[in-house]
């Protein structure tokens, strides 16, 4: 026992004993110094710093440095970090061929799974996981190239030419530039929208052992290369119960259609015989308000006001849904608050990002969290992740010859 609520079972496996914990409701798979969450109190700290302060005062690349290195950078360290990231923003020209292999209507998350995994076929000089220098370079490459690959996936789906990164812009501005500018028309990027984008990146940067981060650690524990591990994380993130929720929120709002239909959908969400859930509500760990959702709501208000959006029917529907869910006893009793994905979907829509790109943006932001956990795991003694199971199948029985089977 290592604390009043923590039982350390290291060593017990030799006796054949194990815990049965479907969904890992109460199983810690690792030790980590990166992120702390108190779900009951609604607290999220990265390396000790509250997420609210990072969202307000920091920026994404500084937060990346913090997650990776454990401390906020000095001015000199920050400048060097930003410069190294900028040095890696382009992707190998031949990588473009991968995009052409996809249907134009392929979901961009399908493209991300494939293309990010394929990076391991291009960057052989950073694949040795036992070499600290290789681990560092692959981390920088992944953080730097994710916006480029994400924007390339979008441009491919639009049939537009892909845009090269611009290193005179900051991380968020450059992403918006590659998304929305074309070689024929280079428009300046709105600082308010770039700030909102950067904040979305910060708020999604890490969240300890969620499904995708645990997947990255599990893949990494077998010695897989970093690009393959991050591709595994992207796959795990895609599901609507995890990162796919931001896209699912907008799809749900489309389905609801208008305020008059809200009651019908709330009733569906409460019906235990109906698999429908109110997308963007609830969280495995937060049984209080998700602190990221609070910051996201504020950012949402700023973006809508900057863009002069006051009467978008879908946004009005979202706000009304939020009001109803926050006062309905079913949601109150179960502590089902709007989560970070509820508001991020609304902001992304307002910025003009298509719904199919929402989860891609989550993946882009979370890459630093995944890679920080992967690096942390590899920097200390670790074992291959190998959960046990509770077998509920047949007892031993003898093989039946084909002619004797009924």
Q: What is the DSSP string of 35-94?
A: EEEETTTTEEEETTEEHHHHHHH--HHHHHHHHHHSSPPPHHHHHHHHHHHHHT-S--GG
321 vs 340, beta carbon nearer ligand ACO: 340
Using CA atoms, how far apart are residues 216 and 224, in angstroms rounded to an integer? 10
**Smallest distance from ligand ACO to CB 137, Å:** 29
How far is CA 80 from each of CA 140, 147, 171, 366, rounded to the nearest angstrom? 12, 20, 14, 22
Q: Residue 335 to residues 122, 289, 326, 331: CA-CA distances in angstroms?
A: 46, 8, 9, 6
Q: Which residues bind ligand ACO (CB under 6 A)?
A: 241-243, 245, 269, 277-284, 334, 336, 339-341
Residue 1 class from Cβ within 10 Å (0-12 exposed, 13-18 middle, 19+ buried)?
Answer: exposed
Active-site residue identified among 46, 207, 341, 373: 341
- Shortest CA distance to 207 belongs to which of 233, 187, 188? 233
Helix (H/G/I), strand (E/B), else coil: 377? helix
Looking at the Cβ atoms of 174 and 294, the one nearer to ligand ACO is 294
- Smallest distance, Å, CB 331 to ligand ACO? 7
Backbone angles phi, psi at 170, to 5 degrees: -80, 175
Say which residues have a Cβ less than 8 Å from residue 378's Cβ, sequence separation at least 6. Answer: 129, 130, 135, 220
- In whole angstroms, the minimum distance from the beta carbon of 127 to ligand ACO comes to 30
Nearer residue to ligand ACO within complex by CB, 208 or 341: 341
Q: Cβ 346 to ligand ACO, closest distance in Å? A: 13
**Least distance in angstroms from the C-beta of 74 to ligand ACO:** 32
Q: Which residue of the set 46, 107, 207, 283 is catalytic? A: 283
Q: Which residues of 272-305 are buried (b: 16+ CB within 10 A; e: fewer)?
A: eeeeebbbbbbbeebeebbbbbbbbbebbebbbe
Catalytic residue among 92, 242, 312, 328: 242
Closest residue (Cβ) to ligand ACO? 282
Least separation in angstroms between residue 242's CB and ligand ACO is 4
Decide if 242 is catalytic.
Answer: yes
By beta-carbon proximity to ligand ACO, the closer residue of 180 and 201 is 201
Active site residue 134: no
Q: Is 283 a catalytic residue?
A: yes
Alpha helix (H) residue ranges in 307-336? 313-327, 329-333
Query: Is-contact 151 175, C-beta < 8 A?
Result: yes
Minimum distance of ligand ACO from residue 73's CB (angstroms): 27
Check: CB of residue 293 under 8 Å from CB of residue 342: yes
If the CB atoms of residues 239 and 385 are measured against ligand ACO, the closer one turns out to be 239
Nearer to ligand ACO among residue 92 and residue 268 (C-beta): 268
Task: Select 165 or 280, whichever has its Cβ closest to ligand ACO.
Answer: 280
Residues 6+ apart with CB under 8 A from 136: none
Question: In what helix (H) or strand (E) does residue 147 lie, and over which residues does it extend?
Answer: helix 132-158
Query: Which residues are known to be catalytic?
Result: 242, 283, 341
């Amino acid at each position: 026992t290592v604390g009043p609520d923590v039982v350390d079972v290291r060593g017990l496996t030799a006796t054949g004993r194990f815990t049965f914990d479907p969904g890992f409701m109460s199983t810690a798979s690792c030790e980590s110094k990166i992120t702390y969450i108190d779900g009951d109190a609604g607290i999220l700290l990265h390396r000790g710093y509250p997420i609210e302060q990072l969202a307000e005062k920091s920026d994404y690349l500084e937060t990346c440095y913090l997650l990776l290195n454990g401390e906020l950078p000095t001015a000199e360290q920050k400048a060097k970090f930003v410069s190294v990231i900028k040095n890696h923003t382009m992707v190998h020209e031949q990588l473009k061929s991968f995009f052409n292999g996809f249907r134009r209507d392929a979901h961009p998350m399908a493209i991300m799974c494939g293309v990010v995994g394929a990076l391991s076929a291009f960057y052989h000089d950073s694949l040795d996981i036992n070499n600290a220098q290789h681990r560092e370079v692959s981390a920088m490459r992944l953080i730097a190239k994710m916006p480029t690959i994400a924007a390339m996936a979008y441009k491919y789906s639009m049939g537009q030419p892909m845009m090269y990164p611009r290193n005179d812009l900051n991380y968020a501005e450059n992403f918006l530039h590659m998304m929305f500018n074309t070689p024929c028309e280079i428009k300046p990027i709105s600082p308010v929208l770039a700030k909102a984008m950067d904040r979305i990146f910060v708020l999604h940067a890490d969240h300890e052992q969620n499904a995708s981060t645990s997947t990255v650690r599990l893949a990494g524990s077998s010695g897989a290369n970093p690009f393959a591990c991050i591709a595994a994380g992207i796959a795990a993130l895609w599901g609507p119960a995890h990162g796919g929720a931001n896209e699912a929120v907008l799809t749900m709002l489309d389905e609801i259609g208008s305020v008059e239909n809200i009651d019908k959908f709330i009733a569906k969400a409460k019906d235990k015989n109906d698999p429908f859930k109110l997308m963007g509500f609830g969280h495995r760990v937060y049984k209080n308000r998700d602190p990221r959702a609070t910051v996201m709501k504020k950012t949402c208000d700023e973006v809508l006001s900057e863009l002069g959006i006051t009467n978008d029917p879908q946004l009005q529907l979202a706000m009304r849904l939020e009001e109803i869910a926050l006062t309905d006893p079913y949601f109150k009793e179960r502590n089902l608050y709007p989560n970070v994905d509820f508001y991020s979907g609304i902001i992304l829509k307002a910025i003009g990002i298509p719904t199919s790109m929402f989860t891609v943006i989550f993946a882009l932001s979370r890459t630093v969290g995944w890679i920080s956990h992967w690096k942390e795991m590899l920097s200390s003694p670790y074992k291959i992740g190998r959960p046990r199971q509770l077998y509920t199948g047949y007892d031993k029985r003898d093989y039946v010859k084909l002619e004797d089977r009924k």
